[in-house]
Chain A
Amino acid sequence: MKLLPHILQNTHPDLMRVVLLAMGMPLLSFLVFVFFGKKLPKGRDWMAAGLLGVATLLSGWVLIQFWGELNPQDSARLTLNWMQIGDGSMGFTLGLWVDRTAALMHFLVNLITLLVHIFSQEYMKGDPRLDKYWAYLGLFSFSMLGIVLSSGLLTMFIFWELVGFSSYLLIGFWHQKKGPAAASMKAFIVNRIGDVGFLIGILIVLVHFRTTEFAVLLEAGSLWTEPGTMPAWLTLAGFCLICGALAKSAQLPLQIWLPDAMEGPTPVSSLIHAATMVAAGVFMLFRIAPLLSPEVKMTLMILGALTAFLAALSATVQTDIKRILAYSTISQLGFMVMGIAVPEYSMFHLLTHAFFKCGLFLTAGVIIHSLHHVQHELKEKGEALPFDVQDIRIMGGLRRIMPKTFVFFLVFGAALAGIPLFSGFLSKDGILLGVWAMAEKSGGIYWMMPVLGMSAALLTAYYISRLGLLVFFGENHLEGKLKEKGIEGIHLASAPLKMYLPMAVLALASFWIIWAPGSPFDGAGSWLFPALGENHLPHELHLVVALSSLVAALGGIALAWVRFGKNRNAALPGGKRGFWANLFFNHFYLDRVYARFIAGPFVWFCRQLGWFDKNIVDGAVNGAAWFAAGKDRQEQSLSGALGWFDARIIDGIVNRVAGVVMRLGQAALKVQPGKVQLLLVFTVAAVLLLLLYLFYFAAG
């Protein structure tokens, strides 16, 4: 028996070496910065970016290998035997699996992280904990790379948790402030809820298939086509598994963490929203899609469609620029989850979305950055003009002040809205086509998906146009305010060129030309398709869907123009909101509902348990000890009891008259809580009980 993990399979050792090297770069960055961050010389910012640059180049090479040298169906696998339990038929294997999809995602994650690194150099300049920031970014991208390259659910789960942890670090990067600390905690806990489901699902799969390797599972997954061949509780496993994806990808009902996660630094938001973290859920769904039963897929699609629609509604009334984008991400992720009917298009949308959403966040980052500057200068001048740098109500007219930013915003916004010739159109169109075709085939409730999807597409165009109109057109409200106060010499400045460089790359990838140079109006013509999956959508529907989604997009823009085009300075939704606007603004009060009906009862329950523990269990044990103890202890305990009596009972009478009789008894019982040793007693007693169980029941 080999105790250490050993290699079971390594199909393309050379390729795998490069992949491992690329994966090691962010990890190296993490290790170097976490241990020696403070000691590094001045160029350390470039060192972090450089490591990611090398990783990007390596992953680009891998990508080229997959499109040039290898067959489309070829994949490189590296499998390790992690451990052996029992007779070894249960495969606890870890490993990496690089196929074309993984190679694509691998490159995407590296590239986006590299761009975010470059952007962050300006954005985070002067932060005292910059070394930690680079370290966390390294860990984050390393764990995300692990997810996309993992060969099985077990491996994926390990990196999944790492992503959760590093996102916790990054969201709460400014942990000295209250908001980020709470937001990171919330993200962590909500993700944990999904992870429990994920883990249970993995265990069911492991028990049933004796392995969690995707390659084996996918073959087994095709059994769904013959009804009755798969046990019913695999459906349960599917439901458990998607819990993890729903939490990570911020879908109903676990989407509440994502808007709050905006508390993190803006580059981090762009990273979370583009290639990492939220993409993990969709990627996982893509991997296990064949394994999901029709019921699970149905649930996923409904949840995705609802999320897409509801989040888009919420995005229409937000006033915080990052929150608008956050809800937009939730909505777009809803599209992807809904598109699980056509997983290859979900993946496509994930890829295109990564670029333009990252770009949108960087656009927001540029604006916030320059507003921060203004805030800083005001502070130095000693002027009091408090404003929220993320509030779109103080923006406006930025078209003149930041023309470059405006152009980039137009590109990214058009891609998001789904205007033809932009990347978003290709992929969103494919998803809508897929659900439409499914609805035509199955009818009934399936029509919900295309209807909700189209409405969400309309709303998407509406909220992004609203954002654009309010931020870039009209008068600049901040300058107006400055003038009112008579403060001179402070102006909004354009951002340094270094910030625009990443945006230029992202903007290029927001055009159709990168994705489907041959067919600007039909995503099916993309070069990605043989790799992502066979494309089998009905072509005759394409025109209808494309036209209606175009109508939806233009309709949304027109609606926004009507509403905010003329009176954009005045009609800012702010102070007073109507009932519906309020509902949308607070995202249907989901937070409060959860706090009231889930967190509240849970805390109450815990309090009851704590009370029981403190007053009944301890009391009984201590009482027993007290009676058994010698005479001198009784004297001591009497005074102790009197002091306790004083504190607890005299005060207690006022509060709880009814409990007095019981508590009197406890006052005599409760002596001194010998906590540590009592814990030991419980531990040993538990071991004894376990042994008894083993002797009498398990052994028979």
Chain B
Amino acid sequence: MNLEMIVFILFAALTLVAGLGVAISRNVVYSVFLLFVILFGMAALYVLAGAEFLAVSQILIYVGGILILLLFGVMLTHKVREMKPRSGIVNLLPGLGVAGGLMAVLFYVLGKANFPETPPAPTQLVDTKALGLETVTHFLLPFEVISILLLVALIGAAYISRKSESPENPTS
């Protein structure tokens, strides 16, 4: 058990506890902020796996973008006076059953799977520059596709959430 492992366990525990909090917390705002903790914990795990750039983008995109969006979502869908937006739990038994079953199956697969526990020594330094080069060479097509997808999603989101113009159907 070296220092790396201890740090890993610490961050992993933080992530999991926060995840549990997200899943069962009654307060919607708590859930969103706990997601923040999870994302930070995940970023730390990425760093430990040697993916620094990924960790940074995780924080930039998720915390900077997605989390803010989610907070806005919560605020816009709850009445302002309601200081503690609450959210109940439904389907508890089916949820437990399905999630538990899934976990059992996944652990079973993990037990049966056969892969080396320690990766080989990296042949190539995975730094930001190398990643950038790789993006515009090997992964150019996925990169272009994903940018188009982003554009489409952007337009779609703007279109869906715009104010309706047609007077006969004011709700949509």
Contacts and interface: CB of A to CB of B under 8 A. Distances in A.
Interface of A: 621, 624-625, 627-630, 632-633, 672, 674, 677-678, 681, 684-685, 688, 691-692, 695
Contacts of A625: 90-94
B33 to A, nearest CB: 23
Contacts of A632: 88
Contacts of A674: 90-91
Contact of B98 (A628, A688, A692): A688
Interface string B100-127: 0110010010000000000000000000
Contact of B102 (A621, A628, A678, A688): A688
B80 interface: no
Contacts of A630: 88-89
Most chain A beta-carbon neighbours within 10 Å: one of B89, B93, B95, B97: B93
B105 A692 contact: yes
Given A688-B105, A692-B105, A629 B94 contact: no
22 contacts: A621-B91, A621-B94, A624-B93, A625-B90, A627-B93, A628-B92, A628-B93, A629-B88, A630-B88, A632-B88, A633-B88, A674-B91, A677-B90, A678-B91, A681-B91, A681-B94, A685-B97, A688-B98, A688-B101, A688-B102, A688-B105, A691-B105
Interface string B18-50: 000000000000000000000000000000000
A624 B105 contact: no
B101 A685 contact: yes
Contacts of B102: 684, 688
Which 8 residue pairs of A and B lie closest in terms of their CB atoms, listed nearest first?
A628-B92, A681-B94, A624-B93, A628-B93, A684-B98, A674-B90, A688-B101, A625-B91
Contacts of A685: 94, 97-98, 101
B108 A695 contact: yes
B95 to A, nearest CB: 7
Most chain B beta-carbon neighbours within 10 Å: one of A632, A674, A688: A688
A624 to B, nearest CB: 5
Q: How would you classify the secondary structure of chain B's contact residues: helix, strand, loop or mixed?
A: helix
B89 A629 contact: yes
Nearest to B94: A681
Given A684-B102, A688-B105, A624 B90 contact: no
Contacts, number: 45
Given A625-B92, A625-B93, A628-B93, A681 B98 contact: yes
Given A677-B91, A685-B94, 5 more contacts: A629-B89, A630-B89, A674-B90, A677-B90, A688-B102
B142 to A, nearest CB: 14
A684 B94 CA distance: 10
Contacts of B105: 688, 691-692, 695
A632 B94 CA distance: 19
A678 B95 CA distance: 9
Contacts of A628: 92-93
A38 to B, nearest CB: 19
Given A688-B102, A691-B105, A695-B108, A681 B90 contact: no
Most chain A beta-carbon neighbours within 10 Å: one of B90, B98, B102, B108: B90
A681 B96 CA distance: 10
A456 B93 CA distance: 68
A630 B95 CA distance: 15
A616 to B, nearest CB: 15
Contacts of B92: 625, 628-629
A617 to B, nearest CB: 12
Nearest to A678: B91
B98 A629 contact: no
B49 to A, nearest CB: 27
A688 to B, nearest CB: 5
A605 B98 CA distance: 30
Contacts of B88: 629-630, 632-633
Nearest to A671: B90
A692 B91 CA distance: 23
Nearest to A683: B98
A111 B88 CA distance: 67
Contacts of A684: 98, 102
B51 to A, nearest CB: 29
A688 B91 CA distance: 18
Nearest to B106: A691
A246 B90 CA distance: 51
B27 to A, nearest CB: 15
Contacts of A629: 88-90, 92
A378 B44 CA distance: 83
Nearest to A621: B94
Nearest to B108: A695
Contact of A681 (B89, B95, B108): B95
B141 to A, nearest CB: 12
Contacts of A691: 105
Contacts of B89: 629-630
A629 B88 CA distance: 9
A361 to B, nearest CB: 41
A678 B94 CA distance: 8
Nearest to B104: A688
A159 B129 CA distance: 50
Contacts of B94: 621, 624-625, 678, 681, 685
A672 to B, nearest CB: 8
Interface in B37-72: none
A621 B91 CA distance: 8
Contacts of A624: 93-94
Nearest to A689: B101
Contacts of B95: 681
A632 B92 CA distance: 14
A192 to B, nearest CB: 33
Contacts of A678: 91, 94
Interface in B108-165: 108
